[in-house]
Chains A and B, each alone.
Chain A
């Protein structure tokens, strides 16, 4: 995965000032969500819970693998639906619920597409699940080199954010 800053910037730039700011916030948040819902629990389980439970020989490797399902198209869609269904109305900021779910999913799709373009020693993204467990990767750039795009993306993202239309005050 490129780092979270790169994903944030890419999604802001792609919106290019076309989305109103609150919708843009959902779209950009969708762009970091695949990592937040998969990598964060994976790291927590692998580095904290697994070592703690290893003395009782509890096998949690499958669970460490399992959270990666939320970084796949088939797993990310229900995550968007779940989050938007659980959000109280006032936290949607006037964005219609279905629209918010669509923006999160579209932001996540940009994330997954960016991840598809990178290259690892062994490809790891199994985007075709449940049809296949075959890993897919285009191998266009090194997964660790997202930071070289920051000098270009930062000013573009600033421009896109400034250009984004601001909503009139919505009812809570």
Chain B
């Protein structure tokens, strides 16, 4: 492939990537309701269902569970009677109704007891791939003909 064609491919695909990130991001932001939206505009959330995915359990008191989601702290209360209370450190996902502020009432919960394995493996594999790519670059550069 000639160099100018490569440059066009890189520019075109790079532009497409940026456009898609903005387009999809804005579309999703409009289509979905998040805890942050509910805190800012509680009227928008009345009676609506929120999904809080893979939040970490910080503490449990009675049937009230403190969580940390990527949108910040969440208070889930009361925890559904048909679900066992989670242990601190565990990851959980919830379908819940907004109450006020960062407080929600969950009606469906799922524990992710193996989440830590997945996160740690992901981190190890990420490091491994970076090392492999660095080695590939080094080996390929060493095979380049030496300039006089």
Contact = CB atoms under 8 A, between A and B. Distances in A.
Interface residues of A, number: 51
Interface residues of B, number: 52
B44 interface: no
A124 B28 CA distance: 11
Main SS of chain A's interface residues? Answer: helix
B95 A121 contact: yes
A94 to B, nearest CB: 10
Contacts of B7: 85
B21 A85 contact: no
B6 A85 contact: yes
Interface string A33-74: 001100010000011001000000000011111111110101
Given A63-B21, A75-B20, A78-B16, 19 more contacts: A29-B129, A61-B29, A63-B25, A64-B70, A66-B22, A69-B25, A75-B17, A81-B12, A81-B13, A82-B10, A84-B9, A121-B93, A121-B95, A122-B53, A122-B93, A129-B24, A144-B117, A147-B118, A172-B144
